[in-house]
């Protein structure tokens, strides 16, 4: 079993970084003021589905028999036709079997077609007292305003690095993995706010070394040596074209992912700017920020990266 599945939150107390959502939902349950429809928005791996499942279990009395009967999970990516939604609406008419509510968790709801949203809107406008909808999406901007205005929305935030460090430290201890603090922080940073991504990276690192160090994590992530990136920035800021050319050739001959390199460079530029603010450093940061967006669809990423470094010399 993967680490993410093994350590997936089963209680609200195990959810990290989403206290604003957990507290609100717990208060609603205590007060008996449960809404008929919720929307959980956020990037992947931040806890949307976990929160939905925990909430569903609580409102159905934490009855294991309710799972799959009174708690129904639907993947909108593969059930997005208007016929699918009409079938769903028809099934909501039947009362729950084991509890007070029937809870429908609809993941990636933004995948519904326009006609599907129109069909779904009616059941939101005239909610049945025994039905609760929990919608989850990574792209709330794709949902019609008519849907957004009829749900209680929660924005699931990226999990801070410090919380990921604490979580990974605890998990490594349970798994008997001895990792250096530097290794754990690198893995946490690689998660980019996603618990799932951080744990996936952790699995890859553990497969590489049972006692991972910072060097092991760098090897798995395909990161460049920090000293090489420092050399790159120094060459840019001092307009040392000879060193810049040599460094770019070294990067080109490596097997690293340029997106990772760009993110690391941005972090280093940010640190330099905070230590010694200047227009040159700020302009360089803008160059790499624009590059991060453009390089994702570039036909020749290395050429674009080299061009950005040369542009930063000006």
Q: What is the dihedral of CA 293, 294, 296, 298, to 10 degrees?
A: 180
pLDDT at residue 222, rounded to an integer: 76
Q: Give the mean pLDDT of the chain.
A: 92
Give SS3 for 56: helix
Which H/E stretch holds residue 167? helix 161-175
**Closest to 94 (Cα-Cα) out of 74, 72, 111, 120:** 72
Q: Who wins on pLDDT, 105 or 210?
A: 105
Q: Rounded distance, CA 6 to CA 56, Å?
A: 20
List the end-to-end C-alpha distance of the chain, in Å, as a whole number: 52
pLDDT for 314 beyond 80: no
pLDDT for 223 beyond 80: no
pLDDT for 224 beyond 80: no
Query: Max Cα separation, the chain?
Result: 74
Contact 189, 225 (CB under 8 A): no
pLDDT at residue 218, rounded to an integer: 81
Q: Rounded distance, CA 113 to CA 174, Å?
A: 44
pTM, rounded to two decimals = 0.78
Instruction: Work out the number of other CB atoms within 10 angstroms of the CB of residue 51.
Output: 24
pLDDT at residue 293, rounded to an integer: 84
Q: Rounded distance, CA 16 to CA 197, Å?
A: 14
pLDDT at residue 54, rounded to an integer: 97
Least confident of 16-30, 92-106, 250-264: 250-264
pLDDT for 51 beyond 90: yes
Residue the block writes with tokens 């979580």: 167
Per-residue pLDDT of 240-270, as tens digits, reads: 999 999 999 988 887 677 888 888 899 899 9
State the pLDDT confidence band at 214, using cuts at 50, 70 and 90.
confident
State the pLDDT confidence band at 5, using cuts at 50, 70 and 90.
very high
Per-residue pLDDT of 54-68, as tens digits, reads: 999 999 998 888 888
pLDDT for 12 beyond 90: yes
pLDDT at residue 58, rounded to an integer: 95
What's the average model confidence in pLDDT over 306-312? Answer: 92
Least confident of 38-47, 113-122, 222-231, 284-293: 222-231
Q: Who wins on pLDDT, 225 or 55?
A: 55
């Amino acid at each position: 079993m993967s680490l993410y599945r093994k350590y997936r939150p089963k209680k609200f107390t195990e959810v990290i970084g989403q206290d604003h959502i957990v507290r609100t939902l717990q208060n609603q349950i205590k007060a008996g003021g449960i809404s008929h429809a919720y929307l959980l928005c956020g990037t992947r791996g931040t806890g949307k589905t976990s929160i939905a499942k925990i909430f569903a279990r609580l409102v159905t009395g934490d009855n294991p028999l309710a799972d799959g009967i009174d708690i129904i999970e639907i993947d909108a990516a593969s059930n997005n036709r208007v016929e699918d939604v009409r079938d769903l609406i028809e099934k909501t008419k039947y009362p729950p079997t084991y509890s007070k509510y029937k809870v429908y968790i609809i993941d990636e709801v933004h995948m519904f077609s326009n006609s599907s949203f129109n069909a779904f809107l009616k059941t939101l406008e005239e909610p049945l007292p025994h039905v609760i909808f929990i919608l989850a999406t990574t792209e709330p901007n794709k949902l019609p305003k008519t849907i957004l205005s009829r749900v209680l929305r929660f924005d699931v935030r990226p999990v801070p690095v410090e919380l990921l460090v604490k979580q990974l430290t605890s998990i490594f201890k349970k798994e008997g993995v001895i990792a250096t603090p530097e290794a754990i922080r690198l893995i946490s940073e690689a998660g980019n706010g996603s618990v799932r991504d951080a744990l996936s990276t952790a699995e890859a690192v553990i497969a590489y070394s049972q006692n991972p160090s910072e060097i092991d994590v760098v090897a798995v992530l395909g990161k460049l040596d920090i000293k090489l990136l420092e050399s790159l920035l120094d060459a840019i800021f001092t307009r040392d074209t000879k060193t810049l050319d040599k460094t770019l050739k070294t990067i080109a001959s490596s097997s690293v992912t340029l997106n990772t390199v760009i993110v690391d460079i941005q972090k280093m530029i940010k640190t330099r700017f905070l230590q010694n603010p200047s227009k040159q450093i700020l302009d360089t940061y803008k160059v790499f920020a624009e590059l991060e967006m453009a390089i994702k669809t570039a036909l020749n990423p290395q050429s674009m990266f080299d061009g950005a470094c040369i542009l930063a010399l000006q």
